Every structure is written in C-alpha cells, then in structure tokens.
A and B are shown apart, each in its own frame.
Chain A
Amino acid sequence: MSGPRKLRPDLAVIADHIDPGTRVLDIGCGDGALMAALRDTRQVDARGLEIDPVQVEQCVARGLSVVQGDADRDLSEYPDGAFDYAILSQTLQTAERPDLMLDQLLRVGRQAFVSFPNFAHWRMRRALLVTGRMPVTRHLPVSWYETQNIHHVTVTDFRELLRSKGVKADRSWFFAGEREIGPAGANWRAEYAVFQLSR
C-alpha cells in the first residue's frame, strides 16, 4: 500500500483514494492522523469533527482545523455539498441513528468513506456460539455494558442499508488483521470494511 506511513490500514486506504486538493470532512477524526496525512501528502483542505476535547486539543496543536462536537447533533449545521468527501471511520456503529448519519454524510459530502468493524466476522460468530456471551475482540475491545458501539453492524447489513437508501458503493475494501483480503466471503472473513459511497 502506498498510503502515508503509520496510518491504520482503513485510514491508509481512504487516504489513497482521495483526490489531491479536495475538501474533506473527517467525522470522528480522533487525534487527526488521517487529516494530517491528507494535508501533508495531498494538499487536502481537511476539517475535523471530534467529541473528545483532549483529542481536539491534540489536533489544534498539530495545526489542524477541528471542531469539538457530537456528530449526531452537529453534522446538520454544515451546509449541503460543503465537502468533496465526508469520512466516517470506525464511528458508524456509535451513532444514535447510523441510517440518518449516512444521509448527513452524503448531504455534506459529494462522496463518503465509511469504515466499520464487521460484527459477523467468524471469530464473533464463534465467540457468541461457543461462549454464549457478547464477543470482546481486538476491534471491539469493550464489554457490552460500557461499549460506545451501540449499533453493531455486519457487512451484509451495511450493504442492505445502502440498497434501501439507493446509495452506491463505488468501491469497497476488506481487512483481516492488518491485511487486505478479497471480497469473497467478506461477511465471514473481514474484521472490518471500508466503503466508498456516492448518491
């Protein structure tokens, strides 16, 4: 992969597919790693939205433009089509209403990237089947009662949501561990997925 070094694989694949010189909104931008990479390697005008004030502070200290806010509430304040891309990485499953969040993404951005952990990965299925308990894994490391992931989703569920909303999946990528895998049997084999979307 030719993406900027040290980015998480899902962020690297997103960075690789963003055209230089575009405007990007990174929702749930964390410490701003993706934004900084886009700015430094692709001359992208990147803006961020992040709920955690400590992470916002780190972003501002890196010279990034990041607003502390809650995506569930604050995305509606951005004008239509303000960005070429809206990015939602590993955040969809924390949204109050992932379906409405998807609408907002494709309202503020002409295109969107969404990455999420796949709850139908075989380890999840095995854990639930064998132990009868909610799985705790590397990508979903927190117990059910304190997890922020309130809407677990599978690759198949997500595709179905896209179909019902008439959203096009222009590209998709699947990962197991740090490795990209093919699309065959992705709903079993992928630990997480990245979709590039448009209306």
Chain B
Amino acid sequence: MSVQNASRVLTLPDSLPLDSGDALEGAVIAYESYGELSPAKDNAILVCHALTGDQYLASDHPVTGKPGWWERMVGPGKPIDTNRFHVICANVIGSCMGSTGPASNAPDGRPYAMRFPVITIRDMVRGQISLLDGLGIERLHAVVGGSMGGMQALSLAANFPDRAARVLAIATTARHSAQNIAFHEVGRQAIMADPAWAGGDYYAQDQRPDAGLSVARMAAHITYLSEAGLTEKFGRRLQQRADGSAGAKSFGFDADFQVESYLRYQGSGFTRRFDANSYLYITRAMDYFDLAEEFSSDGRSGHLGNAFAGTTARFCLISFDSDWLYPTAESRHVVHALNASGAPVSFVELSAPFGHDSFLLDVPALDRVVAGFLE
C-alpha cells in the first residue's frame, strides 16, 4: 500500500529481534512529534496508538484529510500540553502508515505480504524503544495509550522498567480474553475469505480484499460502541432514500436501517487507509498479548505482579463503565497486580456512554485525570 507520507522516518541501525525468534532487518519507524524537546530531553511523552490508529495524533491524516485522532487531548494548552511536553507518536511495526509492515518491501524487493514475521505487542514496544534510542531519549516523562496503545504502555513498563517515569493506560487490558480473540478471528476470517485476498499476495493486483477488510472493520466497530450508544444514535430508524423519500423498508437487502448504512460507511472508509494484511498481523499481536504469561517461569501461566516487579514508574489506569471490550474488571486486574508489587498506582472508572471508544471522545473527566496525572 503506497501512502503519501510526510512523516519523519527512522531506519533502525540494528536488526529488531522478535518474540517469534525471527528478526526484522532494516526496519523503519515512521513517527510524528509535537512540541519542543527540552535540552535535557526529559519532557518527552510517547503516545502509543490503537489497532487501526497511526502516528497522526494531532495533525491531519494525509489520506483522509481528517484531524489527528487525539487532537482533543494533545495540543497547546490541552491535557497533554505540547507547550510543555515533546509528544511523540510512532506508527507501530506491522502497520501500514510508513513503518515496516506486510505491505513493505522485503529485502528481495517484493512486498513481504504473508512472509512478514508474526509480531507481538512486545515487538511493537521494542520498535518504540529503538526509536527513543535513536532520538536520544533515555527516560520518558510518560508513556500513554488507549486500547492497544495501553497494552504497549503496560508492556513498555514491564519490559523496559527504567524508560518511563509515568504510565497511563486507558481502556485496556493485560491479556486478550477469549471474547476479544473471537471478535478478531471473525475479522481475520472475513479478510481471508475474500477471493481478492489471494493468500495475502494482492499488492500487485488491481483488486484488493476491500470487501473482507470492510466486514472486519464493521464487526470490530460494533465492539467499540455501546448498545445504549447505538440505540441513542440510530435506534431502529430507517435510511432516507436517494430519491429523497422518507425511510421505508425496501423488502430487500439494501441498507434499510441507518445503523447498517453507518457501518457500511465505516467499513468502506477504512479500506482507503488501511492494509488488510496489517489488520491480520496487528490483531494477531493483540490476541497473543498476555503480560503475565510473558513473565512466568514456565511460559504458560504467571502472576501479573511479576511483570511489574522491577518498575520505577507511577501508574494510572482508566476504564469506562460502558466499555464491554476491555471492561473495568480488566483494569482492576492490572491495578491489583501493581498494588501487589508495591508500585504507585491510581485507577478510576469513568462514566461515559460511548463504549470502548470513550477514550477518543468528549469525556471531560478523562481530560482532568490525564492532565492531573501528567503534572
């Protein structure tokens, strides 16, 4: 997928070791940054993006032209204040907005496609750390992330305990549940069932697996919202017809309901900016995520407290009462582990109607907690 990309790019000087035992040679990390880095390089905040996010945190997206995905949170005078902090956001490896992923060319000059190694959340974090090394940033003021970004924040705290003074993990989990994995598997199967997927080798074709990727996005999008939110936004309201007539059932399979039309729009819009193979690889990385398992002696079951035994950071976890994808119990599980390991931790469950997506939307209490914790 060739994307017009204005981002800065760092080519990693060393090969990037991966959990699978493989390594990525000559990997590149595309990133954006906002605000001045202090001479002592001690005011950097790394924001980690979610599954389908990217480095365009607080600047317009080059493909969609839409504002940055967290512009309400990051900017001058905002809770993550770029007048004070140097805020960095990098495209994760495996993604498709400039960092090395399945759509990138392998050393043989052809796209990796399914030859790309399976990566993990920890591998993404290794990429982030390599970027910080390249930028000469020893210790972050904070690492911040929601959803998969929160997983990276927790993984960074566990695996690189000296690299961040504060860890802010929002609407996230320390392990993917069976339900989380199940939803991701639906998305992957939708992509792989699309004939245009062609075993992942579609980059030279005219046709891309847009239909499959679109279905994957539609299914996932439902998990980001709440039942109450959907009911309030759409209810059972019918779609206005192209000829201007008021909504009526078509007795066919057009998008009769507004919610159908909305999901189709979400799905097709997504295919313009995202690579289907990246979707496979990143959902896989999330499904493999189990921080306790990483730190267990037998590699199977472990106590999450062990993951944070060496931490020197302060933690803050935030969940939302309407988030059923990563519900409050998952955050509490992390908080209990942090308490057990003696780390300073704050936790609050905020009330918001938007489901998992609440971390991206207008929740004033979230702004206050984020700003307060970063002080």
A-to-B contact residues, CB < 8 Å: 45, 47, 53-54, 56-57, 59-69, 77-79, 82
Q: Tell me if B346 and A66 are in contact (CB < 8 A).
A: yes
Report if A67-B346 is in contact (Cβ < 8 Å); known contacts: A53-B351, A77-B336, A78-B339.
Answer: yes
Query: Which of A61, A62, A67, A82 is close to B345, meaning CB atoms less than 8 Å apart?
Result: A67
Report if A67-B339 is in contact (Cβ < 8 Å); known contacts: A45-B344, A57-B348.
Answer: yes
Q: Which residues of A contact B373 (CB under 8 A)?
A: 60-61, 63
Q: Tell me if B368 and A57 are in contact (CB < 8 A).
A: yes
Residue of B nearest to A78 (CB): B339
A-B contacts, CB under 8 A, total:
61
Q: State in angstroms the CA–CA spacing of A34 and B118 once bound together.
A: 50
Report if A47-B344 is in contact (Cβ < 8 Å); known contacts: A67-B339, A68-B349.
Answer: yes
Query: Which of A62, A64, A67 is close to B347, meaning CB atoms less than 8 Å apart?
Result: A67
Report if A64-B371 is in contact (Cβ < 8 Å); known contacts: A53-B351, A57-B365, A82-B339.
Answer: no
Bitwise, B337-374 to A at CB < 8 A (1) or not (0) is 00110101111111100000000000001001101110
Give B327 Cβ to nearest chain A Cβ, in Å: 14
CB interface residues, B 206-265, toward A, < 8 Å: none
Residue of A nearest to B351 (CB): A53
Give B312 Cβ to nearest chain A Cβ, in Å: 13
Give B14 Cβ to nearest chain A Cβ, in Å: 37
Of B332, B346, B347, B371, most A-chain CB atoms within 10 Å: B346
Q: Tell me if B339 and A77 are in contact (CB < 8 A).
A: yes
Q: State in angstroms the CA–CA spacing of A69 and B316 once bound together.
A: 14
A-B contact pairs, 18 of them (CB 8 A): A45-B344, A47-B344, A47-B345, A56-B347, A56-B348, A57-B365, A57-B368, A61-B368, A61-B371, A61-B372, A63-B372, A64-B346, A65-B346, A66-B346, A67-B335, A67-B347, A69-B347, A78-B339
CB of B108 closer than 8 Å to a CB of A: no
CB of B284 closer than 8 Å to a CB of A: no
Residue of B nearest to A45 (CB): B344
Q: State in angstroms the CA–CA spacing of A15 and B371 once bound together.
A: 28
Of A54, A65, A79, most B-chain CB atoms within 10 Å: A65
Q: Which residues of A contact B339 (CB under 8 A)?
A: 47, 67, 77-79, 82
Q: State in angstroms the CA–CA spacing of A56 and B339 once bound together.
A: 16
CB of B298 closer than 8 Å to a CB of A: no
Give A78 Cβ to nearest chain B Cβ, in Å: 6
Q: Tell me if A53 and B348 are in contact (CB < 8 A).
A: yes
B-to-A contact residues, CB < 8 Å: 314, 316, 332, 335-336, 339-340, 342, 344-351, 365, 368-369, 371-373, 375
Q: Which residues of A contact B314 (CB under 8 A)?
A: 65
Q: State in angstroms the CA–CA spacing of A57 and B363 once bound together.
A: 13
Q: Tell me if A53 and B365 are in contact (CB < 8 A).
A: yes
Q: Tell me if B371 and A68 are in contact (CB < 8 A).
A: no
Give B174 Cβ to nearest chain A Cβ, in Å: 15
Q: Tell me if A60 and B348 are in contact (CB < 8 A).
A: yes
Give B359 Cβ to nearest chain A Cβ, in Å: 15
Q: State in angstroms the CA–CA spacing of A47 and B314 once bound together.
A: 12
Give A57 Cβ to nearest chain B Cβ, in Å: 5
Q: Tell me if A53 and B350 are in contact (CB < 8 A).
A: yes
Q: Which residues of B contact A62 (CB under 8 A)?
A: 372
Residue of B nearest to A68 (CB): B348
4 new A-B pairs (CB below 8 Å) besides A47-B345, A53-B351, A60-B369? A57-B372, A64-B346, A67-B346, A78-B340
Q: State in angstroms the CA–CA spacing of A65 and B369 once bound together.
A: 12
Q: State in angstroms the CA–CA spacing of A111 and B365 once bound together.
A: 35
Give B229 Cβ to nearest chain A Cβ, in Å: 20
Give A4 Cβ to nearest chain B Cβ, in Å: 20
Q: Which residues of A contact B372 (CB under 8 A)?
A: 57, 60-63
Q: State in angstroms the CA–CA spacing of A82 and B340 once bound together.
A: 8
Residue of A nearest to B365 (CB): A57
Q: Which residues of B contact A57 (CB under 8 A)?
A: 348, 365, 368-369, 372
Q: State in angstroms the CA–CA spacing of A62 and B375 once bound together.
A: 8
Give B309 Cβ to nearest chain A Cβ, in Å: 13
Q: Tell me if A61 and B340 are in contact (CB < 8 A).
A: no
Q: State in angstroms the CA–CA spacing of A64 and B339 once bound together.
A: 14
Q: Which residues of B contact A69 (CB under 8 A)?
A: 332, 347
Q: Which residues of B contact A61 (CB under 8 A)?
A: 368-369, 371-373, 375
List of 4 A-B pairs having minimum Cβ-Cβ separation, nearest first: A61-B372, A65-B344, A77-B336, A56-B348
Q: State in angstroms the CA–CA spacing of A153 and B6 once bound together.
A: 68
Residue of B nearest to A53 (CB): B348
Give B323 Cβ to nearest chain A Cβ, in Å: 14
